[in-house]
Amino acid sequence: MAVQFLLGTFVSVIDIMIHALVTVAAIDVARAAGLQHTSRPRSHLMAVMVTTAVILMVAHTVEVLVWALAYAVVGAAPAGSDLLYFAFVNYTTLGYGDITPVEGWRLIGPMTAMNGILMFGWSTAVLFEVLRKTLEHLAAIAAAGSSSADRG
C-alpha cells in the first residue's frame, strides 16, 4: 500500500508541476491578449477564454499521459488494457469500471481521480480569473473611450 501512495504522490507532484507551468503560460497569454485594444470586445473576450481553455485542456491531456505512463511502468492495469483510456476514466472520475486495476494497485485509480479533481478545480479558478481580469480591462478601455459628456 505504501508503494501505491508513493507512486500516486510522485505522479501527482509531476502533474501539479505541469499544471503550474501551463497555468503561468496561460495567464501570460491571456494577459497579453486581454490587454490589447479591441473594437469587438465580446469576440475578443470569447477568443481569450477559448484560448485559455484550450491551453488548459492540453495540460490535462499531458497530465493523463503521465498517469498512463505510470500505469504502464508498474503494470497497474490488466494486460492488453488501453492505458490511456483507463487513465482518462480515472482522472476525470468517470469511473466506467470496464477496466479495473490489478489487485496490487487498487488505490492508484482513486489517487488519479483525486489528482484530476484538484487539477480541474485549479483550471476552473484560472478560467474565472482570466475572465475577471479581461472583463476588468475591457471595462477600463470602454471607460477611457467615452468622453466626459457621455458619462453625464
Residue at grid coordinates 508503494: 3
pTM of the entire structure? 0.87
Nearest-angstrom CA–CA distance, 37 and 141? 7
Question: Using 50, 70 and 90 to split pLDDT, how confident is the model at 152?
Answer: very low
84-142 residue pLDDT tens: 999 999 999 998 889 999 999 999 999 999 999 999 999 999 999 888 888 887 787 77
pLDDT in tens, 24-46: 988 888 778 767 777 787 888 88
Q: Please calculate the CA angle 1-117-80 and round it to the nearest 5 degrees.
A: 60
Q: CA 59 to CA 7: how far, in whole Å?
A: 20
Cell numbers at residue 14, please? Answer: 509531476
d(CA 104, CA 75): 9
At 6, is the pLDDT very low, low, confident or very high (cuts 50, 70, 90)? very high
Per-residue pLDDT tens over the stretch 52-77: 999 999 999 999 999 999 999 999 99
Residues 52, 147: Cα–Cα separation, whole Å: 33
pLDDT, residue 13, reads 98
pLDDT, position 151: 43
User: First-to-last CA distance in the chain?
Assistant: 69
CA distance 146 to 142: 6
